[in-house]
Amino acid sequence: MNWLIVYTGKNSSKNDELKQFFKKNKIKAKSFLYEKDSELSVNSLPATLKGATHCVVLDEKAPAKNASFAWGYLLGSGVALYALKSGFTAEAKKCGQLKDFDSFEKLFGYISKNIASIALEDKKKAAWAKLFKTGNPFTGDALAVHVKKDNRDIVQTYLDAGMSLDERDAEGTPMLNVAIRAEKVDEVKWMLEHDVDLNAVSKDRGYSALMDCVWKKNLELAKILVDKKASLDFVSADNQSALALAVGEGNADMVKLLSDAGANPDKFDALGMSPWTYAKLFKRQDLLSLMEKNHHGQ
């Protein structure tokens, strides 16, 4: 955010109070003092006016000709304005983002109370502009492309613009699953540091994120999710668990990881089979030994 305070001499103390508030909150803010309307002419309009994202106008009078141009320029540029009420502000509110207040105390109170949400909205607006400029549509499929490529900066821009890491692509695959299927270890670690559903289920395969790790035979990713307490006994539409998947693939390392974490070898699937009975069917004594400590069935 870049704040600009436009004020007249009699409002110097109010300008100082605002400047102190912005400084305390580590927010960029500049002031522009004007006493004559000519100081706001088209030719002499200060450069600071052009870089502002938010502007406070401390002048109780309706603006004269040149001052009106400055207001129009700011409103037309999408700058958020906060002003003291005058005969002009009621009409100006129809032209852009303008909030007017009966007194400086109310204006200052509003800004100080809402500065966090104002900053968040500004960040969101900047992110939208960046996505538009770089040709990135605001869709789950577009986000998935960058997740697969581990384009962290663009992924973060989508989050700043308001999209969630729990967004799905057109096939219903959550972003965490997208990253796992692309085997982007760093991206998965980063996602898990944020607010993401660890046990979201894809609509295409019906797999949880942990099951996708098993399907991809990626022990490193599976360990990361197990350490994060992903559900061990989630079952897919056919009642298969991650452990059943690992047994079916004969993946002893994966079976050990899941068994050591407490995965149930006696959970039956739609065919009436369990990880334990599959291992017996395949004559995999090594897998049975790994699951034995959690086995309580037949």
> What pLDDT score does 259 carry?
97
Q: What is the 3-state secondary structure (H, E, C) of 170-200?
A: CCCCEHHHHHHHCCCHHHHHHHHCCCCCCCC
pLDDT of residue 48: 65
Q: Under DSSP, is residue 93 helix (H, G, I), strand (E, B) or coil? A: coil
Alpha carbon 236 to its chain's center: 29
| Look-up of token digits 């577009």 | 142
> Which DSSP symbol is given to 36?
S
Nearest to 48 by CA among 4, 15, 16: 4
For residues 297 and 216, which has the higher predicted lDDT (pLDDT)?
216
- pLDDT at residue 63 greater than cutoff 80: no
pLDDT, the chain, mean: 91
**For the residues 225-248, what does the mean pLDDT come to?**
93
Q: State the virtual CA torsion across 245, 248, 252, 254 in degrees, nearest 10.
A: -10
Contacts of 83 (CB under 8 A, 6+ apart): 56, 57, 59, 89, 92, 98, 99, 100, 101, 107
**How many whole angstroms separate alpha carbon 199 and alpha carbon 22?**
42
Look at 29-38, 61-70, 238-247, 285-294 and tell me which has the smallest mean pLDDT.
61-70
Helices (H) then strands (E): counts for the chain: 15, 5
What per-residue confidence (pLDDT) applies to 43? 66
pLDDT (average), residues 49-73: 80
pLDDT of residue 209: 96
Residues 6+ apart with CB under 8 A from 195: 164, 165
Tens digits of per-residue pLDDT, 160-173? 999 999 999 999 99
Segment of 24-33, 37-46, 219-228 carrying the highest mean pLDDT? 219-228
Q: Is the pLDDT assigned to residue 18 strictly greater than 90?
A: yes
H or E segment to which residue 130 belongs: helix 104-133
Confidence class of residue 87 from pLDDT cuts 50, 70 and 90?
Answer: confident
* Digit-coded pLDDT (tens) for 139-187: 999 999 999 999 999 999 999 999 999 999 999 999 999 999 999 999 9
Give me the pLDDT at residue 74, please: 81
pLDDT at 96 over 80: no
* pLDDT band, residue 215 (cuts 50/70/90): very high
Q: Render pLDDT for 34-51 as a digit per residue (tens, 0 to 9).
A: 888 777 776 666 676 778
* Span 109-127, pLDDT tens digits: 999 999 999 999 999 999 9
Token pair 């149930």: residue: 264
CB atoms under 10 Å from CB of 168, counted, come to 20
The percentage of residues in the chain with a pLDDT greater than 70, rounded to a whole number, is: 96
Give the C-alpha separation, 226 to 232, whole Å.
8
Residue 216 pairs in a beta bridge with none
- Measured distance CA(245)–CA(232) in Å, rounded: 12
Banded model confidence at residue 210, pLDDT cuts 50, 70, 90 = very high
